[in-house]
């Protein structure tokens, strides 16, 4: 089935890129884990959205172009932190979209964690603060968003979150949405845990 996907949608494996985040291996791993259960319509919509944003399926786009993608409204902080100024190819884009389609999947959680942690094995408190900043309602001093996220994850060390901490929490899908900025507000995200 994966071979069909790669052939049918002209998915190109680019062996020249060396970063493990930009290679197609995480996408293939994700599809194997999910047994490619993504509805055909999601695959087509993802391909069309990438072509619309980049101008061509064989092209690339930048994090700033992702602001126009309305299926998931990513926060600018997440896009700048995860991708910076490097180009996003179709494999990067589809991996991100599929990870957010299935936010509770262990593969999705690992992919989002890799994007946020980059070359480290943890996410520090400063990074969490940076990522949740646009979602905070500063008029309501009731919430300390980083404290709330740390309470949701319950990491072994309060100063950083490792992948294992994120994988064992039952609220991983909500945390992924908070960190990528795809929730509408931080108070809505926390309202289900109260």
- CA–CA gap between residue 71 and residue 120 (Å, rounded): 29
- CA–CA gap between residue 46 and residue 6 (Å, rounded): 14
Task: State phi, psi for 127 to the nearest 5 degrees.
Answer: -65, -40
Q: Residues near 44 by Cβ (< 8 Å), separated by ≥ 6?
A: none
Residue 106: other Cβ atoms inside 10 A: 14
- CA–CA gap between residue 90 and residue 11 (Å, rounded): 8
Which pair of structure tokens corresponds to residue 175?
């945390």
Per the structure, the count of domains in the chain is 1
> CATH number for the domain including 34?
1.10.238.10
Q: Is the dihedral of CA 102, 106, 107, 111 positive or negative?
A: positive
**Global pTM?**
0.72
How confident is the prediction along the chain (194 residues), in pLDDT tens digits per residue?
A: 343 343 334 433 333 333 333 444 555 455 555 444 556 777 788 888 888 888 887 889 888 888 777 777 788 889 899 998 889 898 888 888 888 888 889 999 999 999 999 989 999 999 998 998 876 665 566 667 888 889 999 999 999 999 999 999 999 989 988 888 876 444 444 454 44
- Listed in order, strand segments (DSSP E) in 24-149 are 122-124
- CA–CA gap between residue 71 and residue 89 (Å, rounded): 18
Domain that holds residue 127: 2-13+21-191
Q: What integer pLDDT is reported at residue 98 of this predicted model?
A: 87
Q: What integer pLDDT is reported at residue 3 of this predicted model?
A: 38
């Amino acid at each position: 089935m994966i071979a069909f996907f790669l052939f049918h949608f002209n998915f190109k494996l680019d062996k020249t890129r060396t970063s493990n985040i930009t290679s197609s291996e995480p996408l293939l791993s994700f599809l194997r884990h999910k047994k490619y259960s993504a509805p055909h319509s999601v695959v087509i919509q993802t391909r069309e959205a990438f072509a619309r944003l980049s101008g061509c399926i064989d092209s690339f786009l930048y994090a700033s172009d992702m602001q126009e993608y309305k299926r998931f409204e990513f926060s600018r902080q997440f896009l700048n932190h995860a991708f910076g100024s490097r180009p996003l190819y179709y494999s990067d884009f589809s991996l991100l979209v599929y990870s957010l389609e299935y936010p509770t999947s262990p593969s999705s959680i690992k992919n989002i964690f890799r994007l946020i942690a980059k070359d480290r094995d943890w996410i520090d408190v400063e990074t969490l603060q940076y990522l949740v900043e646009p979602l905070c309602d500063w008029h309501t001093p009731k919430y300390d968003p980083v404290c709330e996220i740390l309470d949701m994850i319950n990491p072994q060390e309060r100063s950083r979150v490792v992948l294992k901490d994120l994988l064992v929490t039952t609220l991983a899908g909500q945390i992924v949405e908070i960190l990528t900025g795809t929730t509408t507000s931080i108070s809505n995200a926390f309202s289900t845990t109260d």
